[in-house]
Amino acid sequence: MQAALGHPFVIALPFAVGLLFWLIAIRERQIGRIQGLSFFQRNGTAVGLFLIVAVAFWAVFMIVLPQLFMVEMSFRPKLPPSAMGGPRDVYTLQNYHYFLFGSATSSAEWNVVHIRAFWLTIIASILVTLGNFLLCYPLAFYMAQVATAARLRFLLLLLITPYWVNEILRAFAFRVIFSTGGLINKLLMGAGLLSEPIDFLGLDVGMYAGLSYAYLLLMVFPLYNAIENLPKAQIEAARDLGAPWWHIHAFIVMPFAKPGIASGCTLVFMLTSGALAAPLVLGGPRSLWFTPIVYDRFYQAFNWPQGSAYAFILLLTCIAFVLAVMRIGKLSLGEITR
Amino acid sequence: MTADVELDGVTVRFGDFTAVENANLRIKEGEFFSFLGPSGCGKTTILRTISGFIDPSEGAVRIGGKDMRGIGANKRPTALIFQSLALFPMMSVADNIGYGLRVRGISKSIRQKKIDELLNLVALGDQGAKKVDELSGGQRQRVAIARALAVEPQVLLLDEPLSALDLKLRQHMRNELRAIQKRVGITFIYITHDQGEALTMSDRIAVMNRGRIEQVGDGRSVYDAPRTAFVASFVGENNAITGFITEAAEDYAVIEGKLGQFRGTNPLGLKKGACATLFVRPEALRFGAPENPIAATTREIAYEGNLTHVGLRAVDGSHLTVLLGAGEIPPVMDAQASFGFDAGRAIILPPQQDG
Amino acid sequence: MNARQVMRVMVGFYLVLFFAYLFGPLIIMGITAFNTAPYPTVIPFEDFTLQWFDILFRDKDMMIGLQNSLKIGVLVVLISVPCGLAGAIVMQQVYARARSLYYLVVVSPVLTPGVIIGISTIIFWKDFTGATGIGFLYDGLILAALGQSSFISAYCMLIFLSRLQRFDHALEEAALDLGASNAQVFRHILIPYLRPAVLSAAVMAFLSSFENYNTTTFAILSDKTLTTVLAGRVRQGSTPAISALAVTIIAITVAGTIVYELVKRREDARKAAQRRTAQDAERRELAAA
Ligand SMILES: Nc1ncnc2c1ncn2[C@@H]1O[C@H](COP(=O)(O)OP(=O)(O)OP(=O)(O)O)[C@@H](O)[C@H]1O
Ligand SMILES: [Mg+2]
């Protein structure tokens, strides 16, 4: 299929959907199913226009169209500018084919390196997410239910500063600790436990440590917000009834905090699987993480369509994770993103 | 042109639900007019229709003879005092009061004069610089009134303005509101579910039930001459005896129920055989009176100094209340006694329609 | 020792460990910024020095990156705060049938990995500006700001939404009833009510933009920001100048946090005083009635 008309079609799409809803709304107002003031009556012309322009610009030009363009590009071949719109500019699955088989045409061999990195990224991200949850849950519970107001305030203050230190510096801190000349090797050698330094970074220990550290606080805050709303009386009542502590957490606190747990896990998974800084700074020479591979499609291979396909695969993974969390927790999107 | 408020067949529907049904009235300029009714009967909806936040699904609201359809709340000669007061927390007391003038582009000096005048009117003379969060309940109340009066409305609409106040203060504010109305002389349309408030303050009252206006009249006529069973039982205390009409004449009727036969006035001209309810006020029941006798047992005697409340159980198990004046001697507790009432003080009405 | 005390000790132990884990790496990195050793290390601590800060501040690329980061940050605030505000207001009014689709669209950037946002931004704007003849918009700083704003607007919207949920719409109606136009209601009532949220959204937007790497590294094209320069430096090799940068950033956030805390305490004290005044007035009124 010729790809030349792809862009006008894609650009028209969000506007068409918007128009469609607008028309339905007008119709329903005519038949009286919607009542009350219309949008412009309610906000006035000037404010109403501002609202529509701002939201349309954001939703259409900053969110929907870029994503659609990326998806569209992932189905195009890589062509020199002169060949664009020519006979070779047709929609194709070759970029996805490349992800699976390491070649645009042949299906002889699996693309082991990329597929392995992909699965490793997903599995490691899930593990990191779980680890972060276990590490943060007690703190969130303590802050939300146990700590006095003054102590809580102090803890929140303590958490703000590391929150705003950027990812690269966090990764760098782990390099200072784990590199061959770094703190751990120095300590171990100083204690006489090692004669040769261990290459922690080459073994990816540094990378995993850095990844599990990087998004810790994004787990704490959603958990804290959710548990905070649990009435203290509920826990006390359960305790009075003689429920053991683990029972209270598993059957009272966690079900109550489900939206917060889902929200923290989704965020941490998304950030970890899409992390770029930690793998770049701490990754060993054999890159095992998926995001740097995507990065290389753009800046080493200069193959944007292929990079788009890889990015889209990552996006689909994240969508699948969000859907899975929503399904498992029986939650709506609104509850997760609160 | 006088600023009469006229509701002409006003019906308000939310989806399938009818909140106000076919309301017809004319409120005269300068009147203190109350809507009285239980929670959820559509009082607020009527007020919001008059003030322009809701357009009636059918019928018209006219102010000073002019149809208000399509005229927004900000263009109507009304001012509304909200159930929650809705004072602006981001502004000082003075800025709250001056807000209506500010959006009309009135100059600062004139505004200030008007603000001072109103602060004095509501007895808040020196509180202008305060934030609304620093005020007591009664003071907030006054600010809300002053803010609404500042725009010199022809009609002031008040939605249960006293409901958030302490009981003691509420009594006090009633008098004050009435005094303010006398002084400014504009129409007050007042909403309440408290009959005491409605009876003491209003020139006329509309009693509402389930979206319908059941009766309009001054306090005395609503209390003494209710025209529906709902009005009879909602306004003031009343004893109800149900049965069938066995005898009907122009101005009186006889109703027969489980307690026997009773005679009462028949203002609506009910016909023989109709199902009906006889209402008689507790203060109309008299111990030992020969007319319309009821046999009952005394179950409760509450002595209140000038008055005594007596709770009775009639032979069919229904409850009745009697109010005795200071001179009257109450019967003995748990004793069989006979009560009667003057037929002229009992009213026979059709039973309350449900649905 | 009874069970309760054991529990307390364990909780204390856990808290210490957690914060040690959180701060340990940052502190170690911080110390290396003051060590004369040419390689960032704590032991041996050779000698105390500030030379790395000096080197840092004379690093031309870093300073250009810093300038760009600041420019982008301002741009992001200017885009995200209005977009997030409009997004939140529209969310409350949007036609019921379109609401879930609308919500899905505008919060999706929060759940999308930053690299993907960066990638899609450059792909779209390259073709779009190329095709429509507005090529001057295809500029690293602008694209970085647009890319970052797509998800930072969503953060802002969530901040506004949570404040709007507590908004009493009777205030708007009261203003209308007093004769205000819709635009006046917006200016006089809604915006002042949202002002604290506008402020925190702006601060949050700026900080998020400043520290962003994943989206920026794609969207910045051939320009540089502080984080992309930093990433390049870190990949080339470790130098304590990077630790010095970390110390600087941490120092600024700590200072900011303290200022924020002080402001908040003053605010709380003011609110408490107002409440006391109101209670006093209430008491006097009841006594008088
Ligand atoms: N916007 C609306 N949409 C749907 N139903 C509504 C709406 N506004 C009011 N109602 C319904 O209309 C009925 C009347 O409401 P209204 O607020 O007028 O009652 P009210 O007499 O003022 O009661 P209250 O004394 O509790 O204030 C109620 O049952 C209410 O649920
Ligand atoms: Mg009401």
For residue C172, what is the domain's CATH number? 1.10.3720.10
Half-sphere exposure of A107 (CA within 13 A, CB side): 4
Same structural domain, C71 and C192: yes
Q: Where are the beta strands (DSSP E) in A6-156?
A: none
| B20, B36, B44, B192, best to mutate for ligand 1 pocket (most atoms within 8 Å of CB) | B44
- Atom number of ligand 1 nearest to Cα B45: 18
Same structural domain, C91 and C206: yes
In a domain, C240, yes or no: no
By the 10 Å C-beta count (0-12 exposed, 13-18 middle, 19+ buried), A321 is classed as buried
Q: Look up residue B178 and give its two tokens.
A: 């009435």
Who contacts C181 (Cβ-Cβ below 8 Å, separation ≥6)?
Answer: A44, B74, B103
Q: Give the end-to-end CA distance of chain C in Å, rounded to a whole number.
A: 58
Who contacts A240 (Cβ-Cβ below 8 Å, separation ≥6)?
Answer: none
Same structural domain, C122 and C38: no
Who contacts C239 (Cβ-Cβ below 8 Å, separation ≥6)?
Answer: C38, C39, C40, C52, C55, C233
Instruction: From C225, C240, C270, give the residue that closes a domain.
Output: C225
Where on the phi/psi map is residue B194: left (φ > 0), alpha (ψ -120 to 50), or beta?
beta
Same structural domain, C127 and C45: no
Query: Chain B contacts of C289, Cβ < 8 Å?
Result: 138, 166, 168-169, 171-172
Coil/strand/helix, residue B235: coil
Q: Using CA coordinates, name the residue in chain B closest to C284.
A: B136
Q: Look up residue C286 and give its two tokens.
A: 């009841």
More confident residue, B328 or C275: C275
Of the candidates B181, B127, B116, the one whose C-alpha atom is nearest the C-alpha of residue B150 is B116
Residue A215 CA from chain centroid, whole number: 11
Q: Using DSSP bridges, classify how beta strands B187-192 and B32-36 pair: parallel, antiparallel or unpaired.
A: parallel
Chains in contact with C via at least 3 Cβ–Cβ pairs below 8 Å: A, B
Same structural domain, C144 and C24: no
By the 10 Å C-beta count (0-12 exposed, 13-18 middle, 19+ buried), C119 is classed as buried
C-alpha span between C181 and B75 (Å, rounded): 9
By the 10 Å C-beta count (0-12 exposed, 13-18 middle, 19+ buried), C259 is classed as exposed
Residue B87 CA from chain centroid, whole number: 25
Query: Chain C contacts of A48, Cβ < 8 Å?
Result: 182
C80: closest CA of chain A, how far (Å): 9
Who contacts B345 (Cβ-Cβ below 8 Å, separation ≥6)?
Answer: B280, B281, B284
In a domain, C212, yes or no: yes
Q: Residue B215 — φ and ψ, nearest 5°?
A: -160, 145
Asked if C75 reaches chain A (Cβ–Cβ under 8 Å), the answer is: no
C-alpha span between C37 and C51 (Å, rounded): 11
- Using the mean position of ligand 1's atoms as its centre, give its distance from the Cα of residue B53 in Å: 13
Cα dihedral value A226, C148, A117, A165, nearest 10: -60
C-alpha span between A272 and A261 (Å, rounded): 16
Cα distances from A123 to residues A116, A117, B156, in angstroms, run: 11, 10, 68
Contact state of B80 with C188 under an 8 Å Cβ cutoff: no
pLDDT digits (tens, 9 = 90+) for A14-62: 999 999 988 988 888 887 777 667 788 778 888 899 999 999 999 999 9
C-alpha span between A76 and A95 (Å, rounded): 8
C-alpha span between A201 and A175 (Å, rounded): 8
Of the candidates A8, B9, A74, the one whose C-alpha atom is nearest the C-alpha of residue C123 is A74
Least confident of A308-312, B189-193, C6-10, C264-268: C6-10
Q: How confident is the model at residue A67 (pLDDT cuts 50, 70, 90)?
A: very high
Q: Across the strands, what pairs with C48?
A: C35
Same structural domain, C53 and C128: no
Coil/strand/helix, residue B18: strand
C-alpha span between B82 and B156 (Å, rounded): 11
Same structural domain, C66 and C208: yes
Helix axes A65-74, A6-30, angle to 10 degrees: 140
More confident residue, A111 or C269: C269
C-alpha span between C164 and C85 (Å, rounded): 10
C-alpha span between B62 and B56 (Å, rounded): 12
Q: Look up residue C186 and give its two tokens.
A: 């917006």
Who contacts B276 (Cβ-Cβ below 8 Å, separation ≥6)?
Answer: B242, B243, B244, B245, B253, B255, B270, B348, B349, B350, B351
Q: How many CB pairs lie under 8 A apart between chains B and C?
A: 95
Residue ranges making up the domain that contains C118: 61-225
Walk across the sheet containing B78-81 and list its strands.
Answer: B78-81, B155-159, B187-192, B32-36, B204-209, B212-217
- Which protein residues are within 6 Å of ligand 1, measured from CB? B 14, 17, 19, 37, 39-45, 193
Handedness of CA A37, A38, A40, A43 (dihedral sign): positive
Three-state SS string over chain C comes to: CCHHHHHHHHHHHHHHHHHHHHHHHHHHHHHHCCECCCCCCCCCCCCECCHHHHHHHCCHHHHHHHHHHHHHHHHHHHHHHHHHHHHHHHHHHCCHHHHHHHHHHHHHHHHCCHHHHHHHHHHHHHHHHHHHCCHHHCCHHHHHHHHHHHHHHHHHHHHHHHHHCCCCCHHHHHHHHCCCCHHHHHHHHHHHHHHHHHHHHHHHHHHHHHHCCHHHHHHCCCCCCHHHHHHHHHHHCCCHHHHHHHHHHHHHHHHHHHHHHHHHHHHHHHHHHHHHHHHHHHHHHHHHC
Furthest-apart CA pair in chain B: how many Å?
76
Of the candidates A47, A334, B87, the one whose C-alpha atom is nearest the C-alpha of residue C162 is A334
Contact state of A164 with C146 under an 8 Å Cβ cutoff: no
- Using the mean position of ligand 2's atoms as its centre, give its distance from the Cα of residue B192 in Å: 8
Same structural domain, C34 and C156: no
C177: closest CA of chain B, how far (Å): 5
Of the candidates A336, A317, A316, the one whose C-alpha atom is nearest the C-alpha of residue A326 is A336
Helix axes C3-32, A112-141, angle to 10 degrees: 130
Instruction: From C225, C247, C279, give the residue that closes a domain.
Output: C225
C-alpha span between C71 and C145 (Å, rounded): 9
Contact state of B169 with C173 under an 8 Å Cβ cutoff: no
Handedness of CA C90, C92, C98, C104 (dihedral sign): positive
- Tell me which DSSP letter residue B270 carries: P
Q: Using CA coordinates, name the residue in chain A closest to C108.
A: A63
- Using the mean position of ligand 2's atoms as its centre, give its distance from the Cα of residue C144 in Å: 51
Contact state of C123 with A304 under an 8 Å Cβ cutoff: yes
The pLDDT of residue B355 is 45
Q: Look up residue A194 and give its two tokens.
A: 């090692």
Residue C128 CA from chain centroid, whole number: 29
Nearest protein CA to atom 4 of ligand 1, as residue: B14
Instruction: From C205, C225, C245, give the residue that closes a domain.
Output: C225
State ipTM.
0.90
Chains in contact with A via at least 3 Cβ–Cβ pairs below 8 Å: C
Q: Look up residue A163 and give its two tokens.
A: 């929150």
Each residue's pLDDT expressed in tens, for chain B with a length of 355 residues: 577 899 999 999 988 899 999 999 999 999 999 999 999 999 999 999 999 988 898 999 999 989 998 888 888 999 999 988 999 999 999 999 999 999 999 999 999 999 999 999 888 888 889 999 999 888 998 999 999 999 999 999 999 988 878 888 888 888 888 998 998 899 999 999 998 899 999 999 999 999 999 999 999 999 999 999 999 999 989 999 999 999 988 888 999 988 889 999 999 888 888 899 999 999 998 888 888 888 889 888 888 888 888 899 988 888 999 998 877 777 788 888 888 999 899 999 998 876 4
Of the candidates B1, B62, B79, the one whose C-alpha atom is nearest the C-alpha of residue B27 is B62
State the amino acid at position A134 in one-letter form.
L
C-alpha span between C205 and C123 (Å, rounded): 24
| Tally of CB atoms within 10 A around B190 | 27
C24: closest CA of chain A, how far (Å): 9
pLDDT digits (tens, 9 = 90+) for C113-146: 999 999 999 999 988 888 888 878 888 899 999 9
In a domain, C278, yes or no: no
Same structural domain, C91 and C3: no
Cα dihedral value A193, A194, A195, A197, nearest 10: -160
Q: Using CA coordinates, name the residue in chain C closest to A293.
A: C115
In a domain, C221, yes or no: yes
Contact state of C289 with B135 under an 8 Å Cβ cutoff: no
State the amino acid at position C43 in one-letter form.
I
Nearest protein CA to atom 24 of ligand 1, as residue: B39
Q: Is the pLDDT of residue A1 over 70?
A: no
Q: Nearest Cβ partner of C113 from A55, A158, A273? A: A273
Residue A170 near residue A213 (C-beta atoms within 8 A): yes
In a domain, C176, yes or no: yes
In total, how many domains does chain C have? 2
Nearest protein CA to atom 20 of ligand 1, as residue: B40
- Using the mean position of ligand 2's atoms as its centre, give its distance from the Cα of residue B195 in Å: 15
Same structural domain, C34 and C85: no
Cis amide linkage into residue C44, ω under 30° from 0: yes
Cα C230–Cα C233–Cα C235 angle in degrees, nearest 5: 110
The pLDDT of residue C7 is 82
Same structural domain, C111 and C195: yes
In a domain, C241, yes or no: no
C-alpha span between C146 and C134 (Å, rounded): 15
Of the candidates C239, C169, A3, the one whose C-alpha atom is nearest the C-alpha of residue B84 is C169
In a domain, C280, yes or no: no
Nearest protein CA to atom 3 of ligand 1, as residue: B14
Same structural domain, C189 and C99: yes
Q: Which domains does chain A have, with CATH numbers?
A: 6-92 (no CATH), 112-336 (1.10.3720.10)
The pLDDT of residue A8 is 84
pLDDT digits (tens, 9 = 90+) for A244-301: 888 888 888 899 999 999 999 999 999 999 998 888 888 866 667 899 888 888 888 8
- Using the mean position of ligand 2's atoms as its centre, give its distance from the Cα of residue B44 in Å: 4
C-alpha span between A276 and A295 (Å, rounded): 8
User: How confident is the model over C220-229, as a mean pLDDT?
Assistant: 90
Across B128-152, b (16+ Cβ under 10 Å) vs e yields bebbbebbbbbbbbbbbbbbbbbbe
In a domain, C285, yes or no: no
Nearest protein CA to atom 8 of ligand 1, as residue: B45
Contact state of C285 with B88 under an 8 Å Cβ cutoff: no
The pLDDT of residue C68 is 95
Nearest protein CA to atom 19 of ligand 1, as residue: B40
Across C92-111, b (16+ Cβ under 10 Å) vs e yields eebbeebeeebbebbbbbbb
Q: Nearest Cβ partner of A314 from C113, C150, C261? A: C113
